[in-house]
Amino acid sequence: MGPGQDLNSSEKNNGGGKLEKRILEAISSEYNKLDPRGSQTMNIVVRKVYSVLPGENEDLIKLFDFLVSRGEWRLFWLVTVWIKRKKLYQRQYMAYYEKWLHKSIKGWGQ
């Protein structure tokens, strides 16, 4: 994901509603404004997009599930930072985290 690359046109297009598409557009827009080669870029995107994330934990987890399902490691990284920031390490969300680990990222090291 970098200049000229649009997350919305990813090969793995899992649909998503208006909120999901708006967040993907915000992430993509922020990346396209910045030099994509450093963690500083990631931290800028984390801060800028954080302000437009849903306030309700359930809505947030559903959004995160959609983002992780895209199969893009940068989206997964953003989600993990936002989970930490929102302190969403709760038992009720563990099924999501397990699903992500078993289904969404199992092929990344191959």
Looking at the domain assignment, is residue 3 inside a domain? no
d(CA 68, CA 70): 5
Range of the domain at 81: 17-104
pLDDT in tens, 38-90: 677 788 889 999 999 999 999 999 999 999 988 888 898 899 999 999 999 89
pLDDT higher than threshold 80 for residue 18:
yes
Whether 2 shows a pLDDT value over 70: the answer reads no
Q: Is residue 10 in some structural domain?
A: no
pLDDT at position 37, please? 65
Residue pLDDT, tens place only, 86-110: 999 899 999 999 998 887 766 656 5
Asked if the structure places residue 46 within a domain, the reply is yes
In a domain, 7, yes or no: no
Whether 79 and 47 have beta carbons less than 8 Å apart is answered as: no
Is 72 part of any domain? yes
CA distance to 40, 71, 103, per residue, from 52 (Å): 20, 22, 27
Exposed, middle or buried, 51 (CB in 10 Å: 0-12/13-18/19+)?
exposed
CB 1 within 8 A of CB 7: yes
| Torsion over CA: 99, 103, 105, 110 (sign) | positive
| pTM strictly above 0.95 | no
Query: Count of domains in the chain?
Result: 1
With a CB cutoff of 8 Å and minimum separation 6, the contacts of 71 are: 10, 12, 104
